[in-house]
A and B are shown apart, each in its own frame.
Chain A
Amino acid sequence: MAATVSKPISSQETAAGIHVSLENVGVRYLLVPENRRTIKGRVLGLFGSPSVSSEFWALRNFSLSVNPGEIVGIVGPNGSGKSTALRVIAGIIEPTTGTVNIRGRVNPLLELGAAFNHELTGRENAYLYGSIYRISRKEMDELIPQIAAFAELGVFFDAPIKTYSSGMVARLAFAISTQIQPEILLLDEVLSVGDEQFQRKSFFRIKKLISRGAIVFIVSHGMGHIQQLCNRVIYLSKGRIVADGKPSQVLAQYQRDAAAGR
C-alpha cells in the first residue's frame, strides 16, 4: 500500500478547512542491533547469527478522523505508540502502510523545547523556531513581545536557555508554539510542567485556539489534564486503538486495565 502524506504547512491549502484523517496507518521500526551499525559489525554479522533484524510495529491499523474543535487526548502505557502517532501527524515519519491526510498548519514540533539551542537566548531561539514554522523575520518581530509576555521570563528572555529552569523552558516553548496560532496543535507531555497559574493560562489558550476551529492533540500521563481539557480520548495499546470516545468512558476503561496490570 502506498503511503502518501499531503504536506501540512501551507496556508493556501488550509482555506479548504482543517481536517486530520489517517487510514490504516502502520509504522514499522526495524530493531537493528547496535553492532550492525558499523562495518565491522556488518561483516561479522555475515557469519554469526542470522542477519535479519527483528521488526516492531509501533502503530498498526491506526485509523482516525478528526474535525475542527476536537481536543483529542491520547493515552496508553509507555511504548504504546502515542508519540509515534503524533510524529506521523506532524509529517516527521512517513508511515510504512496506509494514508495520511492533513489539512491545516501543524506545529511541527514535539517534546517542546527538545530542539532548543541551549547556548542561545530565549529571543534567539524564538526567531529560530519562527523560521521552523515558516514565519518570516518581520512577522516574528511582531510576535516576539507577545511571546515574551506570555512566557513570563522577564530579563531571562535575553539570557541563554542553559540558565533556565525546566519550567521556564516549557513556558517559552508553549508560548512560541501557541503564539503562531497553529491550526493543528500537537502537545507531547507538556502540560505537566509549569506551576498551576501557568497551567490555567495554557488551558485558556488551548480553548481559545479551539474556539477558532483548531484541532489539538494531547499526549499525557496526567489523567487530570486529559479529563479537564479533552472532548475525545483515544486509548492505545501495543500500537492499536483499544478505545476511542468520550473522555470519561475511555479513561475509566484505561484505568481499569492499568489497575488490572494489562
Chain B
Amino acid sequence: MSHQIKQILDYREFIIQYTLQQLRTRYRGSVLGFLWTLLNPLFVSLALTIVFSFLNRQDMRSFGVYFFAGYIPWTFFAAATSASTMSIVGNANYVNRIFIPKGAFPIVTLFVNLLDLVAGLAVVFLLMLAFGAKFSAAMLFLPVSVIALIILVLGLSFLFATINVFVRDFSFFWASFSFLLFFFTPILYKLSALPPDARRYFEANPVLPFIRMFQEPIASGVVPSGETVLLATLYALVALVLGSTIFFRSQKSFYLYL
C-alpha cells in the first residue's frame, strides 16, 4: 500500500498537468470560460431559493443562506462521485497504453471537481454579503469541513471507479441514486421540520454529518457538535481505507475489462 502511495506521489506533476488540461478543455471555445464555474451554482441556487422561499413562506434571506450552505457541498459530493465512476473507464486510452499509476486518475477527477466546490463557496460568501447575513467566527471551521468531505469523496472515488470497471451499470445507478439521496438529505428543508419519528432515519444518512459541517457554521453561526465531527471523520476514514484497498487490490485486472 505504501508503495502504491509513493508511486502516485511520484506522478504528482502528471496529476497537476492532467487536471489543468481537463479544466482547460472544459471551457475551451466559450466566451465566459471560467466564469461559468461561478455562474452555474449562482443561477441554480438563485432559482431554487426564490421558489422555495414562496413555498416555505420563510424569510428568503435566511432560507437562502441555509440552502446554499448545504447545496454547494452536496453538488460537489454528487458531481465528484458521479464523475469518479468514469475515471478509469473513461481514461481507458491512458490506462491501457501508458504506464501511469492508475490511482492518479480518480485523484485528477476529484481535483477537477474541487474547483467547483471552491467557486461554489465563493458564491455562498458573495450571497451572504448581498443578503447582509452575519459572518460568524464559526466559519473558521470550514477548512476542516472541506478536508473531511474531500477524504470521503476520495475514498468513494476509488471504490466507484473500481466497481464501474467490472459492472458498467454502476455509473447509471449512482447518478439516479445520488439524485434520490439529495431529497433525503436535509438541504431543501430543515431536519427540525420533520416529525421526530422520521428524524431518526434521516439522521442515519452517512452524508448528513458532512453537510451539517457546512450548514451549521455558515447558516447558524455555530461550530458543529463533536458528535457530528466524529461521525464524519469515521465515515471519511472508512471510505478512504476501504475504497483505496479495493482499488489497489483490483487494479491489476483492470486491463481485462477495459
> Is the Cβ of A37 less than 8 Å from the Cβ of B7?
no
- Residues A134 and B98 in contact in the complex (CB < 8 Å), given A38-B168, A120-B24: no
A115 touches B17 (CB 8 A): no
Judge whether A90 is part of the interface by a CB distance below 8 angstroms: yes
Residue ID in chain A nearest B94 by CB atoms: A115
Provide the residues of chain A in CB contact with B11, threshold 8 Å.
131, 134
Kindly supply a per-residue 1/0 record for chain B positions 72-98, scoring 1 wherever the CB is within 8 Å of any chain A CB and 0 otherwise: 000000000000000000000111111
- A93, B169: Cα distance in complex, Å: 25
Does A38 contact B167, Cβ atoms closer than 8 Å? yes
- In the complex, are the beta carbons of B169 and A39 less than 8 A apart? yes
A128 touches B167 (CB 8 A): no
Contacts of A111 in B (CB 8 A): 97
> Which A19-47 residues have a C-beta within 8 angstroms of B?
29-30, 32, 37-40, 42
Q: What is the CB-to-nearest-CB distance from B165 to chain A, in angstroms, rounded to a whole number? A: 10
Contacting pair B252 A94 (CB below 8 A): yes
Q: Which of A94, A114, A131, A135 sits near B93, CB closer than 8 Å?
A: A114
Q: List 26 A-B contacts (CB under 8 A).
A: A7-B7, A29-B256, A37-B166, A38-B167, A39-B167, A87-B255, A91-B99, A92-B95, A92-B99, A93-B255, A108-B98, A109-B98, A110-B97, A110-B98, A111-B97, A115-B94, A117-B21, A128-B14, A128-B17, A131-B13, A131-B14, A131-B17, A132-B100, A134-B14, A136-B13, A137-B17
Distance, CA A37 to CA B168, complexed state (A): 6
With A32-B257, A124-B21 in contact, is A109–B13 under 8 Å at CB?
no
Cβ–Cβ < 8 Å partners of A132 in chain B: 14, 98, 100
Give CA–CA (A76, B97) in the complex, Å: 20
Asked if B203 CB lies within 8 Å of chain A CBs, one says: no
User: A134–B13 contact, CB under 8 A?
Assistant: yes
Bound complex: CA of A93 vs CA of B99, how far in Å? 9
| Other contacts beyond A9-B99, A38-B169, A128-B21: 11, CB < 8 A | A29-B256, A30-B256, A32-B257, A38-B167, A92-B95, A92-B97, A92-B255, A115-B94, A131-B18, A132-B98, A134-B10
**Other-chain contact of B16, A8, A37, A38, A131 (Cβ < 8 Å):** A131
Task: Enumerate B6-33 residues with CB–CB distance to A below 8 Å.
Answer: 7, 10-11, 13-14, 16-18, 21, 24-25, 28
Set of chain A residues within 8 Å of B98, measured between Cβ atoms = 90, 92, 108-110, 115, 132
Q: Footprint of A on B, CB under 8 Å?
A: 7, 10-11, 13-14, 16-18, 21, 24-25, 28, 93-100, 166-169, 252, 255-257
- For A127, the closest partner residue in chain B by CB is B17
A115-B93 contact in complex given A93-B255, A132-B14, C-beta closer than 8 Å: yes
Task: Give Cα distance in the complex from A108 to B17, angstroms.
Answer: 17
Report the separation of the CA atoms of residues A128 and B14 in the bound assembly, to the nearest whole angstrom. 7
Minimum Cβ distance to chain B for residue A58 (Å)? 10
Report whether over half of chain B's contact residues are helix, strand or loop; otherwise say mixed: helix
- Nearest chain-B residue to A109 (Cβ)? B98
Q: Which residues of A contact B13 (CB under 8 A)?
A: 131, 134-137
Residues A114 and B21 in contact, CB atoms below 8 Å apart: no
Report A-chain residues with C-beta under 8 Å of the C-beta of B93. 114-115
Q: Could you say which of B10, B95, B252, B256 contacts A32, with CB atoms under 8 Å apart?
A: B256
Tell me the complex Cα distance, A117–B19, Å: 13
CB distance from B173 to the nearest CB of A (A): 8
Query: Is A106 in contact with chain B by the CB < 8 A criterion?
Result: yes
Q: Are A114 and B24 in contact (CB under 8 A)?
A: no
For A137, the chain B residues whose CB sits under 8 A away are: 13, 17
User: Is A119 an interface residue, CB under 8 A from the partner?
Assistant: yes
Q: How far is the CA of A176 from the CA of B253 in the complex (A)?
A: 30
Q: Cβ of A131: which chain B residues have Cβ within 8 Å of it?
A: 11, 13-14, 16-18
A115 to B99, CA, bound (A): 12
Which of B7, B11, B24, B96 has the most chain A CB within a 10 Å cutoff? B96
Complex Cα distance, B168 from A94, in Å, reads 23
A9, A29, A134: which has the most chain B beta carbons within 10 Å?
Answer: A134
Taking CB atoms, residues of chain B closer than 8 Å to A39 are 167, 169
Give the CA-CA distance A137 to B168 in the complex, in Å. 36
- Kindly list chain A residues whose C-beta atoms are within 8 Å of the C-beta of B167: 37-39, 42
Within 8 A of B (CB), among A73-91: 87, 90-91
